[in-house]
Each structure stands twice: as structure tokens, then as C-alpha cells.
Structure 1
């Protein structure tokens, strides 16, 4: 495990360097020796400052590009025409950059969390209150469990590491089985529930409800792990998912925002629907403390800050076909419009207006009107996490430096978790509570109430649309794959990920759009997902340094 050792320890030293310029009050700045100097953990403020790193910097490499490369490109909700093709085409290899970056990032979270637990237990002085000490350790355990959720869902069996220092003299560390990883992270989150405060100690900090919401997510997925592909999920775990979801829905202080688009309009940080978000700060020069993702998603420098490199990124043909009101034509195209407000808040169609974003045009500026370009191909560019120029964000934006946070758990997901857990192993359900929770999400988008029985297809479609470009779709497919791999392959292999042309009926105020596949772009429109390529391969650099990762996994 020498490679993992190197990644964990060398990066930990870098974590504290460069964070000192953070301006966000939440990210109290520790001195540069905070991680390694035992004398630092002497007051509540110092302990809170140390664990603030767990909310941002340690997740940076994942958030930067890997989040959408794995969560959306690999899942087929969005694509890049000229870049990131390994993930778009489901040909991710051991050398694909985002594969190695994500692996390292998650183990950095694990290592940093382990180190925080070790240091707080060993060095916390009499000036640290029992409440803060307990909460800080719970924060670290929460982050470690969440990192392992990403690891096990992307790579399958992975090594569970609870003590970094033990690795220095242990050369026999190997991977642990998928079922034991899920058992470990569920048990961890159950313990965290008991140790986090009912109310966040400060805005953006974890609380008991964030742990219960994550438990609902864990149990829903773990119910499928127990099925081992036989189509019958574990009812006990489904019941647990439903139990925790309902507690969060009915007893927590979180509430759905009334307007879906407001979830991604500046300033949206730590709103009433955000149960847990990565907390980024606008800190030019402090690389790694900011949200850099918008730089790669914004379609043009016209709406960005010296970046805007996402011109070849956008919704896939398959994704657009999911929206109600956009229907197939006899010629094989798509046409229509949708009442679903989530489309405009997620992807830009020619003629969409965004008053909250300033657009540079020849001779001046205007509110953003997404342009109509091309003759046989164009892109439905990404809107989520794109909030415009510095002038649109109180000056808190610069090239690759953005402040707004990354959602890791929204209340809307908890509503849909309850509905799916209630559906369970049934073909359909009309349970009143499940229907009500489903419709709370569905009708918020501007769509009429859904009145037919809920099925897994209906719930999955709702999740794909609700969370598109939030790095979620891939993990929904992995959850499905645990208990019904055939269906997961069918969804992926039915997707069209190729070029197409979107034409409005009029511009700049269209009422209807026609979508036509680009006639000359016949290659690479579909993928071939199967049991041999569904999970990510362990990065080649890790395998070369840690051959034990090739050994059969063992229970933890």
C-alpha cells in the first residue's frame, strides 16, 4: 500500500498550506501546522478549524472534474463531444485521468478523516469541551463513511483503512468485500447519528439530520447489495431507509424550496433544502478551497470570468427525451416543450433567458439569452452550478475561483428515497404517503400531480431529471445494478450519446424546439455496458504500487 501511503501523507501536508486565505466565516483558518502539531488542539475553536478542512479542501480533486465525469458523463445524462471521451463512451480505463483523481481524492478524505480522529483523541486538551470533541470526531467519521460509499460504488471491493499509522508497518492490507464495506459504513453512520448535535453548531456544519438522511440513502442502496443481483431487495434495509427518510422529512428543520431554479441561483448556499453541502470559499490564491467546477461547465467566456470552457458539454439526446412534453416524431427526431422547470434550470436551450446572468455581446452586455448556433449540431449547455460573472455574484468570482457550494444531499432526495423504499420489491405502489412525497418533488417542478401508481421506472426517471448534473445519476445506476444488473445495462445501452441539432421555432423567444440527430455523426452514439466494464478499474498507478489490490477481497 505504499502508493496509498504516499497519497495520504504527502497530500495531508498540502491541505493546510494554501487554505489560509479563505474568506468564508465557516472555514476558520488553522495555522499551517494544524494537522500535525499536537499543541494546536487545545480549544473548541482550534478543533473546529481543523475539521473545517473536511468540508472542502479534501474533496477538491473529486469536485473539480471527477464529480460530473463519473456522476453524469458515465451515466449518460450529459456528454462532452470532444473531451472526457473515456467516460462518455464507457471506456474508462486505469489511465483515465478522472478515474485516478477520484480514487486519490476519496482516499485523501479517508486519510484526513482518520488523522483528525487520531489527533483529536490524542491531543485534545482540557480546553476542548466534550460536546465539540464528540462532534468533531463524528464529522470525521461521517466524511470517511461517505468517501467509502463513493469508493465501493465505483470500484467495488476496496481496502477499509481506519488507522493511517498502522499501514506504515502492515504490508498485507488488501481489499475488503463489497458487503463488508457497506456494513462498515452503515455502522459508522449509525454511530455518527448519536454524536452529532440536533442543530448545526455553525451554518454548513453537519448535524444529526444530515446523518439520518445519509443513513436513509445507505440503507436503500444496501438493500440491493444484499440481493446480489437476484431482484429481491432486503426488506429490513428497505424499512430502515423508509424509517430514517420519514424522520428527516417530518422532524428535521429542512424544507423544499418552492422554486427549483433557486437551488442554483446565487446566493443559494446552505438554503433550507440543503442537508449537506461542500463548503467552498472565494479565496483567490488559495487553490483547493474554492469551487472550480463552473469554469469547466460554463459554455463560453461570454458568461464567465476568464474561463468558460464547457462549450462542447451538454445534455444527451437520451436525457432530453426524458422530459415530459418532448416526444418522438415519426422521422426519428424529438419535438415539443415541457412544463418541467427543471430543464431550464439544468440545461440551456436556444432562446432560454436567464436574467440572473450577464452575457457579453458585441458593444455591450445583456441578460443571458442562450444563442441559437450551428446548422446540423449544437449543444444544450449546462446551467447548474453556472451563476455568471463576478458582477452577478457580488464580486465573488474569478477564473476557476467560485464560492458557491456543491450539494451532497438535498431534501428532495430524501422524499424520493421514501417513495422507492415503500415501493420496495413490489411492481408498483399507490401508497398515499409515498405518492404524497413523490409529488412534493414532482409538482415543485411545475408539472401536474402524478396520479398513476409508482413504479421503479417512474421513480428512477424522476431522480434522473431532479438530480441531473449533480453527480448523482451514476450512483443511481450502481444502486440498481446491485439488485437488477440487467435493467441497469438496458438503461445504459439504450442511451444515445451522440451529436444532435436543436432548433427553436422562433428566436429569441421560442415556444417549441425540434431535435434532430446529426446525420454524419453515426459513430459512438451508443455504448456497451456489461459485467466486464460496469465498475471502474482500479487506477493503473495504484496497482503498480500496491499489488495486493489484485488479490481476492476478504471480509472486514
Structure 2
């Protein structure tokens, strides 16, 4: 059968999805008729249409502001007065970004559960069984990913696997961290078994998307319950197995140009294994708002938005990134004198001339003229990368390294160095955990990843994770070009920074986010010790 592009489904099914459901607390059960009237699914294509909103609108509240507030500000990559409570580790239970992220994750879970319920109850015999399993696999993939975010932000959280029985139950309890990880991994394993090797439409996940996600989840879980810093070898082996299968057999490949990964024209590129799919001219909640908040000036967007003048790279990030790593740095954060030819193209490009902050570039795509008309105020349709092949390469290298001090294994070096050399950085002949950890920070900065790397480290080496965070400079700085440099290609710019260091401490009590106060009021059992989930 011929399957249309995912964006078509997003348009068709927004009304059916019901945006009101995105604003409900997770304890409030969405009506079962929200996605279908009970007689809808008669073809495989109709079943696929039901899962399309799982690729954007249910993630909107997280992507809108929370993803970078948690993933980059809290992690120490980004500074901004708007998100200072995150990187100062003083987030209140009433914080809007906190509530939005919790709500979004449980909306993904609730809507995924609804899709599965409706497919089970409302699918005609004319729908091929493999298409039903395909849609359920997409829903379980999304649900598993949502739980992987919840557990890394809040620790023990309630597992909701049945909206009918559980949502609205104010006596619901938290489940243990071990239970949540097992539940998420089981969801992803189902997805591996029931998704096709090749995506049925551009932007849709496939078997290898799920395998790549499993390589991440097993690598993280390998540290859960670790003693003496030694991770679970079975989980490390599983991470290696799934990463290797992706690398050897999947249709994915690295893009040759790192900056091109974050341009609208390259949505769903060969490196993109799972990305949120946005449309610039759909209903509210279907667009990517990142540029509106992160672009430093209205001239960048060509519209009335562009409120990101105060958002930029942290001093710590600028101190940690090598001057030689200019390709990735420039594609992520702007420094004085950078020229971006892809923005304001009619004027020859955007020349960045600010020297008191390194503003954000990644996912800032420019004006409508720069994007075939597909930009309006607070609306772009550049994908949000949730999983790229580059991460699977690093997962593979790290799973081979395991708990050893270093490795010169040819396979580990090959794929680790493919990520580096694309960025114009020399290959290494021996790699350590710290090498891989730093590589992840630079490669995925402003993609909402680094906080979760710190959580992963905290699982098996909490002292080191806290040491890294407590040593991060989150103060102000100014930037200048070193006199006599930048005169030619053979004499590139060198930057001179003047830092005013500021540090904020984290401890075991502030490392995890607080539960939203609204949820604690409705479900007081969330204050009680977590219990194992009954599989």
C-alpha cells in the first residue's frame, strides 16, 4: 500500500486528537473516544493515521521550553535568567517548565495507551494484522521513550499502562526506578520485533530506530544499582548488540556536514533515527517554537519573535570546547564575527556582532525567505532530533570500552572517530570514558541531551557527576577577537574571553526534580516509598 508523508497525517488528525487533552494532568483520564469513534479503523492507512500525532503534538509542552531548560541549562551548557533555577538547582514544585515537562511525558503515555486500546477494540478485520502490530509498536516506542525521560528526571514515577483502569486513580503509587527501566525496555523490545526494517513513510520510526533507542536505554540502565562504579555487563553487552546491528544493517548513515543536520531543508535526513515532526502552518502545538525563544533578535526570524538575547552558551561550555572544534561550536553557539550564510541569505548572511554572550544557533533557521516560506511568528518546522546515528556510534564505542580504563579496540575507535573527523577534529588512537563523555557534550549540545548524560554517570559514579556539575562556571563573560588574528584563512580568529566565574552546588537531594505540587495534592501516595511494578 502507498503511505503518504507523516505531515499529511498530522494535519488530518489534529482535530481527532483533541488539543484539550494535551493540557490535562496525567491523573485525568482522556476520553476513549478522543482518537476514534470506535468504528474508524478499516484500513492499514487509517491505523497509521492514528499514530501520527504521537510524533509532535503530544511532545509539544516538553519541546516548547522544557527540553532545553532541563537538558542544557540544568546540565550547564546554557545560561539564561529565564532558566536560572534549573542550573542553580533550585527548581520549585510549582515551576511552569517543570509542570509542562511532566504533563507532556504523561500525555505521550496516555495518548499512546489510547492508541493501543482503540486499535485493540475498534479495528475491523479488513486491517492487516502486521499494520495493527506496527501501530502498537509505534505507540509502545513513544511510551517507552517518555518513561525513559521521566525516570531520569524524577526517579521513581507511576507506571500508567491502562488509561481505563489507572488514570483518575488518586491512590496510585510510584514504581521503583528498576521497574520503570524494565517497563521502558520491554516497550522498545516490542517495537524492535514489530516495526519494519524500512520506514513506511518519511519521518516514521522503524526497527532500527527502536534498536538505537535500546542501545541508549541499556547503556543507561547498566549503571542502575551499580556498586563500586562497576556497571552491569549484561546491559553493556545488550547496548553493544543493538548498536552494532544498527551500524551494520540499518539504512541510516552520517550526514557529511554537521551544520546541515539542523536545517529545515534536511528534515528526516539519513542520520535522523527518531525526530519530532513539526509543521509551520498547522494548529497550535504542531509547530516548533524553538527559534522564537532562542533567536537573539527579530532580524534573525524576520518576524515579531526572536526573544533569545539573554540565552547563550555557559562559560563552562566555552571553556570545555576545544578551539579546534569550531565546526560544531559555530553550529551550536554564535561567537563574535561568525558569519551564517544560511540566515538572511538575501543580504549575504548574518554577521554576528555581540560580545557579551554566545547566543544560540542550533535550530535557529532564519526567516521565511531562508526556508521556502516555511517560517512565521513562533512557527518553524525544523525537526527536533531525538535520536541520531552519531549517538549510536558513541554508544557502540562506549559499550565496547565498558568499565575498562581505556580501549584501542579497532571497532570502538572507528565509530568514535567517525563522529570526530566529521567535525574536523583529529582521530584518537586510544579512548577513555572521559573522551566519549566529552564528545557527547559537544556533539549534542542544545539538543537537550547533556543532563541525561550526567544522570547516567550519576547512576554508577555519583561523586564524579556531582564533581563535574559543581565545577561548572555559570557566570558572565565577554568575548573579543585576539588582535592580529582573523586576517586570513591561514590566520583564523582566536578568541579572548574575560570570565566572571559563578558556581552552583548540587547534592543528592537537589539532583532530582521535585514532583509537581499539583500532582502531589491529587495523589498523596506519590509521597510514599515506591513499589515494584507487577509485570
When the two structures are superposed, what TM-score results if normalisation uses the length of structure 2?
Answer: 0.92
| Alignment partner, residue 346 of structure 1 | 332
C-alpha distance in 2 between matches for 1:148 and 1:477: 17
Q: 1:303 aligns with which of 300, 317, 333?
A: 300
Q: CA deviation at 1:423?
A: 1.3
Q: 1:397 aligns with which of 357, 368, 375?
A: 375
Superposed, 1:182-197 pairs within 5 Å as: 182-197=181-196
Q: 2:431 aligns with which of 444, 448, 454?
A: 454
After the TM superposition, which parts of structure 1 deviate over 4 Å for at least 4 consecutive aligned residues?
A: 168-171, 506-510
CA RMSD of superposed structures (Å): 1.8
2:528 is aligned with 1:551: yes
2:400 is aligned with 1:419: no
| Alignment partner, residue 350 of structure 2 | 368
| Alignment partner, residue 330 of structure 1 | none
| Alignment partner, residue 239 of structure 2 | 241
Superposed, 1:172-251 pairs within 5 Å as: 172-227=171-226, 230-251=228-249
Q: CA deviation at 1:414?
A: 0.3
Q: CA deviation at 1:372?
A: 3.5
C-alpha distance in 1 between matches for 2:212 and 2:96: 32
| Alignment partner, residue 491 of structure 1 | 468
Q: 1:256 to 1:297 in 2, by over 3 A?
A: same
C-alpha distance in 2 between matches for 1:193 and 1:516: 50
Q: CA deviation at 1:541?
A: 1.3
The CA deviation string for residues 226-285 of structure 1, in whole angstroms up to 9 with x for no partner, is 41x53000001101101110110111010001111111123110001000100111115x
C-alpha distance in 1 between matches for 2:196 and 2:212: 14
The count of aligned residue pairs is: 506
2:495 is aligned with 1:513: yes
Gaps of at least 5 residues in structure 2 are 17-33
**Is the 1:28–1:49 contact (alpha carbons within 8 Å) kept by the matching residues of 2?**
no
**Is the 1:307–1:399 contact (alpha carbons within 8 Å) kept by the matching residues of 2?**
yes
**Is the 1:26–1:202 contact (alpha carbons within 8 Å) kept by the matching residues of 2?**
no
C-alpha distance in 2 between matches for 1:190 and 1:445: 33
**Is the 1:174–1:548 contact (alpha carbons within 8 Å) kept by the matching residues of 2?**
yes
Superposed, 1:48-63 pairs within 5 Å as: 48-63=48-63
C-alpha distance in 2 between matches for 1:530 and 1:169: 34
Q: 1:508 to 1:447 in 2, by over 3 A?
A: closer
| Alignment partner, residue 273 of structure 1 | 271
The CA deviation string for residues 211-240 of structure 1, in whole angstroms up to 9 with x for no partner, is 10011001000100141x530000011011
**Is the 2:263–2:382 contact (alpha carbons within 8 Å) kept by the matching residues of 1?**
no
**Is the 2:62–2:105 contact (alpha carbons within 8 Å) kept by the matching residues of 1?**
yes
Q: 1:200 to 1:28 in 2, by over 3 A?
A: farther
Q: CA deviation at 1:420?
A: 1.0
| Alignment partner, residue 18 of structure 1 | none
Gaps of at least 5 residues in structure 1 are 1-21, 326-337
| Alignment partner, residue 437 of structure 1 | 415
Superposed, 1:26-41 pairs within 5 Å as: 27=10, 29-30=12-13, 32-33=15-16, 35-41=35-41
C-alpha distance in 1 between matches for 2:435 and 2:205: 31
The CA deviation string for residues 438-478 of structure 1, in whole angstroms up to 9 with x for no partner, is 10101110011112x21111111000000000000000000
C-alpha distance in 2 between matches for 1:486 and 1:103: 27
SS in 2 for 1:253: coil
Q: 1:356 aligns with which of 314, 337, 342?
A: 342
When the two structures are superposed, what TM-score results if normalisation uses the length of structure 1?
Answer: 0.88
| Alignment partner, residue 534 of structure 1 | 511
**Is the 2:171–2:524 contact (alpha carbons within 8 Å) kept by the matching residues of 1?**
no
Q: 1:405 to 1:243 in 2, by over 3 A?
A: same
The CA deviation string for residues 115-135 of structure 1, in whole angstroms up to 9 with x for no partner, is 000001000112322221110
